[in-house]
Structure 1
Amino acid sequence: MNKEILIVGSGPMAIDYAKILLAQDIDFNVVGRGKESAAKFQLETGKMPYIGGLEKYLNDKTLSPNTYVIIATGTEVLMESLLLVLEKGASKVLIEKPAAISIGELITNKNKLEPYFDNVFVAYNRRFYASVIEAKKMIDEDGGLQTIHFEFTEWAHKIEPLEKAAGVKENWFFANSTHVIDLAFYLGGKPEKWEAYSKAGALKWHSKTNFTGAGITDKGVLFSYLSNWESAGRWAIELLTNSRRIYLKPMESISIQEKGTIAVIEKEFDNSLDLQFKPGLKKQLVAYLNDDEADLLNLRDHFYLSKEVYLKIIS
């Protein structure tokens, strides 16, 4: 079956997807809202988007039964776009994380989305980083993961002055921090028995700023995490096997501390794709288009994580 591909959105993320499709000589259509973003899209890709927005596009055109949609809009209209393309018969959808502006918006639409749980995938591209793929190989070599520690500190002083749509900064944990949390539990398993603690800080635009927790996953992996948005820190994941500690810090890189040693040594690996395109994006997109779903996050699991994990961390 020949697939028809539609990119929804004409901003920076849409351009990143388009560049990968163009590099593979895969044809696609793209729909945007404004003339300015469409002009930038054309300048970067050579392809002019349909202008006027998704609803107008879908009123003018019929989606074929084999349409694979990529939603790469702003966070504030992700859910609106998803509901529209599903209503019009999209076969499969890859939607930018976190698929809604808030956990509340996601949960509110559960009944509408439940019939499509296995055909919609949320684009947590860090699962496909070259560093993550290499780390998984090392974990397998060592006989499995024993312990995981991660940090999702956000730089509040950088976020505060950003101009974002209403609700985006207020839900920054869901929109941004879950990049790290999803990856941690993708590698270590879903939390099974655990405790979570959080507290508010001085930020006016986000309800919580300080987080910690620990427990065990359904794979028997012990985990802990912390994050303080009003102190120093960064995104990071530490993976402990019986032989070594693997650092993804920054997450595009790998450093190793062997058992019985103090030195932390950077590891070389093939990350050529992550240098050519936005990291993780090409392998994620290829998996989606080839129906290779093992490492993609389907909407069913995203609902579980959002309600049972993310909500517990933020609450």
Structure 2
Amino acid sequence: MIWLIGSGSMSIEYSKVLDGLNKQYTVVGRGQASADTFFEATGKPVVTGGLEAFIKSSASVPEAAIISVGVYQLYDTALQLIEFGVKNILIEKPAAVSYQQVEDLCARCVAYNSNIYVAYNRRFFSSVLEAKKRIAEEGGPTSFNFELTEWAHLIEKIDKPLDVLRKWFLANSTHVADLAFFLGGKPKMLTCFTSGSLEWHPDASIFAGAGVSQSGALFNYAANWESAGRWSVEVLTKDHRYIFRPMEQLQVQKRGQIAVNLVEVDDSLDKEYKPGLYKQVKAFLMQDCEHLCSLAEQKKQFKSFEKMAGYER
């Protein structure tokens, strides 16, 4: 049995995948309103009342759990599951809102012999997996760049708590940073600059930086939440430039040519389900960890994320 913790919109997407994988699962939520919405969308009932009460009434430990709750509830939810004895956990990004919380979760995992993986589903886009293979065949990346611009005029209107918006770089933009570092290599050296501020994100609104990855590839990034832009990642090898703009598509430019061509990939699962989610959940349940982001890996890159965001002064 699998536990799906949370009954919000992302949990609905997980439910579709679990149904597609023919898995038995129990959905645990808190309030009745979200439970009703979840049932209308999936036909699956939700056990309301929260995780703590559900654990007290549970006679057995699930084989795995998926945590899909609010950003500020991720850490406490993971702690409860670890201490209950759950050994395999998939947790929505960023897993926690501070390096100290991530560090504590890592220590608890060691103490309780649990494994936590952070759900960066873009790693499992068909386009990304194809590029990952090609980049390796060409000897690895020589450089890469990425843009993390968020559309502030839309974000300020969404129904999210202010404390979540204040950590929006961690809560959302790390999708792009993680993907770039997944393809190009984790930072070995990193220099960051920030400026500006927004009412809901006072630490910074304009971001730029550069560094060297552990593989030796040079990289740079930028974002301007007060202007125009979009998410994108570009990875260069000695032979090609691989372009993700939009992120779901892989485009390639050959050295010495101007033309940029779309790479055809089998993305049928990315169209049937939320892109990347089916392959990510399948890999998690099969413990195929090659492309999953372990909590230990998240710990290593978390300080880079905080530095890029301007949270670490």
With the shorter chain as reference, the TM-score category is: over 0.9
Map of 1:38 onto structure 2:
35
State the Cα distance separating 1:82 from its structure 2 match: 0.7
Identity %: 43
Q: Give the Cα separation in 2 of the matches to 1:256 and 1:80.
A: 42
Structure 2-normalised TM-score? 0.93
* Matching residue's letter, 1:284: Q
State the Cα distance separating 1:144 from its structure 2 match: 2.0
Map of 1:314 onto structure 2:
309
Map of 2:226 onto structure 1:
230
Change (3 A) 1:21 1:52: same
Change (3 A) 1:110 1:13: same
Moved more, 254-263 or 105-114: 105-114
Q: Give the Cα separation in 2 of the matches to 1:69 and 1:274.
A: 22
Q: Give the Cα separation in 2 of the matches to 1:63 and 1:153.
A: 45
Question: 2:58 aligned with 1:58, yes or no?
Answer: no
Change (3 A) 1:196 1:118: farther
State the Cα distance separating 1:104 from its structure 2 match: 5.5
Map of 1:154 onto structure 2:
150
* Matching residue's letter, 1:52: G
Question: SS of the counterpart of 2:194?
Answer: strand
Question: SS of the counterpart of 1:136?
Answer: helix
State the Cα distance separating 1:118 from its structure 2 match: 6.2
The answer on whether the counterparts of 1:102 and 1:174 sit within 8 Å (CA) in structure 2 is no
Map of 1:275 onto structure 2:
271
Q: How does 1:182-201 map to 2 (within 5 A)?
A: 182-201=178-197
> Can you list the C-alpha shifts for 1:146-189, whole angstroms capped at 9, x where unaligned?
11101111111111122212410000001011101111111111
The answer on whether the counterparts of 1:153 and 1:227 sit within 8 Å (CA) in structure 2 is yes
Moved more, 104-113 or 198-207: 104-113
Q: How does 1:105-120 map to 2 (within 5 A)?
A: 105-107=101-103, 111-112=107-108, 115=111, 119-120=115-116
Map of 1:242 onto structure 2:
238
Q: Give the Cα separation in 1 of the matches to 2:103 and 2:225.
A: 26
Q: Give the Cα separation in 2 of the matches to 1:289 and 1:108.
A: 24
Map of 1:176 onto structure 2:
172
Q: Provide the aligned C-alpha RMSD in A.
A: 1.8
Q: How does 1:134-153 map to 2 (within 5 A)?
A: 134-153=130-149
Question: SS of the counterpart of 2:166?
Answer: helix
Question: 2:5 aligned with 1:8, yes or no?
Answer: yes
Among candidates 268, 282, 287, match of residue 291 of structure 1:
287
The answer on whether the counterparts of 1:118 and 1:299 sit within 8 Å (CA) in structure 2 is no
Q: Give the Cα separation in 2 of the matches to 1:290 and 1:79.
A: 24
Question: 2:246 aligned with 1:211, yes or no?
Answer: no
Question: 2:248 aligned with 1:252, yes or no?
Answer: yes
> Can you list the C-alpha shifts for 1:274-297, whole angstroms capped at 9, x where unaligned?
000001101110111001111111
State the Cα distance separating 1:62 from its structure 2 match: 3.2
Unaligned 5+ residue runs, structure 1?
Answer: none
The answer on whether the counterparts of 1:172 and 1:206 sit within 8 Å (CA) in structure 2 is no
Q: Give the Cα separation in 2 of the matches to 1:109 and 1:139.
A: 33
* Matching residue's letter, 1:97: K
Q: Give the Cα separation in 2 of the matches to 1:116 and 1:179.
A: 28
The answer on whether the counterparts of 1:9 and 1:72 sit within 8 Å (CA) in structure 2 is yes
* Matching residue's letter, 1:312: K
State the Cα distance separating 1:200 from its structure 2 match: 2.7
* Matching residue's letter, 2:191: E
Moved more, 209-218 or 35-44: 35-44
